[in-house]
Chains A and B, each alone.
Chain A
Amino acid sequence: MPFIELDVLNNKVDGILGIDLGTTNSLVALWREGRPEILRPADGNGQPLQDARIPSVVHYPANETPIVGRNARARGIEDPERTIFSVKRFMGRGLADCTDDLASTPFAATENENGLIRFSIDERGETPQEISARILHHVWENAGVALGMLAPRRAVITVPAYFDDSQRQATRDAARIAGLEAVRILNEPTAASLAYGLDSKNHGTVAVYDLGGGTFDVSILSIEDGVFRVLSTSGDTHLGGDDFDRALVETALDELRERIGLEAAREPAFLQTVRLAAERCKIELSRVPEADLHVVDVARGLNWRRTITRADFGDLISPWIERTFDACRRALADAKLTPADIEDVVLVGGSTRVPVVRERVTEFFGREPHAGLNPDEVVALGAAVQGHVLAGGTRDVLLMDVTPLSLGIETMGGAVSKVILRNSPVPAQATDGFTTYADNQTGIDFHIVQGERELAKDCRSLGRFKLSGIPPMPAGLARIAVRFLLDADGILTVTAKEDSTGAESTIEVNPMHGLADDEVEGMLLESFAHAKEDFDQSRLANLKVELGTMLKACRTHLPSVVDELDPEARLDLEEAVAAAEAARTGDELAAAQKARDELERASLPLAAILMDSVAKRALAGKNLDEV
């Protein structure tokens, strides 16, 4: 069975990308030649990038096209007021949900009538979906550069398992704005378990501990004969390595406020300096037992340092680590298991590199975590495995995932009647019975909510709909069956049906804080419409470099063997060289591609003679380097 399909005519790769759209960094992988592979663009020296992570950062230069990724991160350090980090924290949220996070973003934010956040950047306004779309599009372009041809537009995109419906929908919308089709929104820890399954044994009960930049997830899975069955999942969408940085920032600010004054300590540029110092210190502490928290601000003549030991750091971040264990206990209780039942622990996310986190996790589960997987790459790799399954590539692997949060209906008095319980396997269906509460009531409003709290107002509202056409009858006599169908993508369809008349009403639930279809269409960024042109440009640039290398080789070797070439081949080669020279200065992709192929073909006799002479000289005992 072919594992990768090359569509040579259209110069693109088929298949389904696996994209880890992270709070801090993003990464893309694809199933190739029998295994998932991180797509690594070449570095300056033509070598695949060791660290292929793409910072999830967008920088908005004045009056220019926004910059994404590494360059945006670099610019963000100089110019934090025009740069947005950690946009994932705002996905599918309203202003009221994220006041803390808003305090640390440089842009003013407003909310529209659908409760959708919009950041003001100069004259521009951008929603979190659009900003994420910029990141996704950049990730997709990178995939194309790494592949050397157009990357697939279909992708499995991962989200924290504990994301609710609105947050998942926002991710889906971001993909659409970026011109990608999210064929599946996949839970990050579940994705990680797929990569673990390939790496390790395929049997047993496993806990995935996923501590990223901004979110924490834990999932308990049972792996049996290639079936990855999630037993339970829990987490916290506001807990991650950013909190560790913030703890160090607060430590520094406690002293620095006195040194430079309250006002100065509140300036975004200064805060950014402190934040970077904190991050450096944290990363350093993963390598060595103690490190300096060192803040330099030349303009203020400030050179402040304080030594932080791993023990100090452990004390500082202890409250957050404890919160991860609250979620672990919850997940274990829901799976009806104890830590002793867990046969392996898989660590995911950059924050699990912190030694004190590893120690505490080892303590909690009573065993050393599984080693051998890169916690930064395991989610993207797993997403590529699922992409391979969804593309029809294999039936050997099957994921049975669950819904992380309960789904229910608001009843009289504002309570919630849960219809699908959290940790139910998806796809799921369930039916609940309702009735009228007033005599001759002909319609009922249904309010669908998601969450674990007892009262509807404390849960997330997913939507409302009305069943009408109930025949007049005394209160409590009507029998109304409300059916929930939650598909494998987590999309909920609710149908209400009155028994006696068969009156029926169905909605596909569109979450609050969501985008309408026409809004998404309106956001399709103009540059994305030109993605093919952008890609052709980068392809052309690569071809020119390649032509340069090939021409240089021809010029170097042709004089020494020119007499050995038969005249026809020589003429052919000289023509190909001339065409290649011309194509190198031109701007035609097709011409450059043709010239490259021609030159490769025409230089075959030359290569054959060279190989031959290399062999002869080698046999004559000469050093190969002299050839």
Chain B
Amino acid sequence: MERTCPACGTALNSPLVCESCGELLEPEPGLTPFAVFGLEPAAEVAADALRKRLLALTRRTHPDFFGSDPGARRRAESNTAALNEAWDVLSDDIRRANWLLGYLGGPDEKAERDMPQSFLLEVMEWNEAVEEARAAGADTDATRTLTTLEAELLAERTSLVTRIREGLLPLPTDTDRLVELRRLMNAVRYLDRTLHEIAELRLSHASSR
């Protein structure tokens, strides 16, 4: 559906602002993050192009440029916040996949939490490794082991993210595939939790040195 700018009549590329005359628009409620950037929902987003688009649109909408008119400033605040919120979803592989899953009617984060026994045992091993390193302190074998573990987890995460992306190409509609994607994303959450703890532990080790 083609929209045109109410002020200058130019065809619009963004629901937030007319890039031709600079008119701030009132977006219709319930815009998707993709729509905010003038995109159709898709598994992949070109990171570089997305960032350039964020900068170009923000140059048009940022409240700093609407200081004198309170009404326009409020609209600028709200449109720029919408842009930032959409950027937050689209710029991260997992957050984007998570949003798509909801959009496609797939199970939410709280569903499909039963992970395979073997995976859970693995998670327990990671946790033990982190606790050992925490107890042993900086510059110990336990902490050095953690570096190896971290590399393994990052590799596993990359392969999971690839599988999730491939699972979304083209956007699936059948329930089985959506359930499978949610399982994969729940596995990423386990990985991320351990990776986060390793990162925090490293910061605290660096700090106590």
Query: Complex formed: what's the CA distance from A143 to B63 in Å?
Result: 27
Stretch at the interface among A126-134, A265-273, A427-435, A600-608: A427-435
Contact assessment for A329 and B203 in the assembled complex, using a CB-CB cutoff below 8 Å = yes
Given contacts A424-B84, A424-B88, A425-B87, contact A398 B199 (CB under 8 A): no
Given contacts A227-B55, A488-B63, contact A427 B80 (CB under 8 A): yes
Closest A residue to B200 by beta carbon equals A333
- Judge if A534 is at the interface, Cβ distance under 8 Å: no
Given contacts A326-B203, A326-B207, A424-B84, contact A398 B67 (CB under 8 A): no
Query: Complex formed: what's the CA distance from A427 to B88 in Å?
Result: 13
B48 vs chain A, min Cβ distance (A): 11
- Judge if A276 is at the interface, Cβ distance under 8 Å: no
- Judge if B62 is at the interface, Cβ distance under 8 Å: yes
B16 vs chain A, min Cβ distance (A): 13
Contact assessment for B58 and A227 in the assembled complex, using a CB-CB cutoff below 8 Å = yes
Contact assessment for A425 and B206 in the assembled complex, using a CB-CB cutoff below 8 Å = no
- Judge if B77 is at the interface, Cβ distance under 8 Å: yes
Contact assessment for A391 and B207 in the assembled complex, using a CB-CB cutoff below 8 Å = no
- Judge if A400 is at the interface, Cβ distance under 8 Å: yes
- Judge if B65 is at the interface, Cβ distance under 8 Å: yes
A234 vs chain B, min Cβ distance (A): 11
Contact assessment for A326 and B206 in the assembled complex, using a CB-CB cutoff below 8 Å = yes
Contact assessment for A398 and B203 in the assembled complex, using a CB-CB cutoff below 8 Å = no
Contact assessment for B68 and A392 in the assembled complex, using a CB-CB cutoff below 8 Å = yes
- Judge if A358 is at the interface, Cβ distance under 8 Å: no
Contact assessment for B84 and A330 in the assembled complex, using a CB-CB cutoff below 8 Å = no
Contact of A487 among B55, B59, B63 (CB under 8 A): B63
- Judge if B64 is at the interface, Cβ distance under 8 Å: yes
Contact assessment for A391 and B67 in the assembled complex, using a CB-CB cutoff below 8 Å = yes
Contact assessment for B81 and A427 in the assembled complex, using a CB-CB cutoff below 8 Å = yes
- Judge if B138 is at the interface, Cβ distance under 8 Å: no
Q: Chain B: how many interface residues by the 8 Å CB criterion?
A: 23
B58 cross-chain contacts in A, Cβ below 8 A: 227, 398, 400
Contact assessment for A398 and B84 in the assembled complex, using a CB-CB cutoff below 8 Å = no
Query: Complex formed: what's the CA distance from A117 to B130 in Å?
Result: 43
Given contacts A333-B199, A427-B77, contact A399 B85 (CB under 8 A): no
In which size bucket is the chain A interface? 20 to 34
B202 vs chain A, min Cβ distance (A): 8
Contact assessment for A427 and B63 in the assembled complex, using a CB-CB cutoff below 8 Å = yes
Contact of B203 among A322, A333, A486 (CB under 8 A): A333
Query: Complex formed: what's the CA distance from A183 to B68 in Å?
Result: 11
Contact assessment for A398 and B62 in the assembled complex, using a CB-CB cutoff below 8 Å = yes
Given contacts A326-B203, A400-B62, contact A428 B55 (CB under 8 A): no
- Judge if A389 is at the interface, Cβ distance under 8 Å: yes
- Judge if A225 is at the interface, Cβ distance under 8 Å: yes
- Judge if B94 is at the interface, Cβ distance under 8 Å: no
- Judge if A481 is at the interface, Cβ distance under 8 Å: no
Interface residues of A in 458-499 (CB under 8 A from B): 485-488
Contact assessment for B203 and A488 in the assembled complex, using a CB-CB cutoff below 8 Å = no
Query: Complex formed: what's the CA distance from A10 to B85 in Å?
Result: 45
B199 cross-chain contacts in A, Cβ below 8 A: 333
A-B contact pairs, 14 of them (CB 8 A): A183-B67, A227-B55, A323-B207, A329-B207, A389-B65, A392-B65, A392-B67, A398-B62, A400-B58, A426-B81, A427-B63, A429-B81, A487-B63, A488-B77
Name B residues whose Cβ lies closer than 8 Å to a Cβ of A: 55, 58-59, 62-65, 67-68, 77-78, 80-82, 84-85, 87-88, 199, 203, 206-207, 209
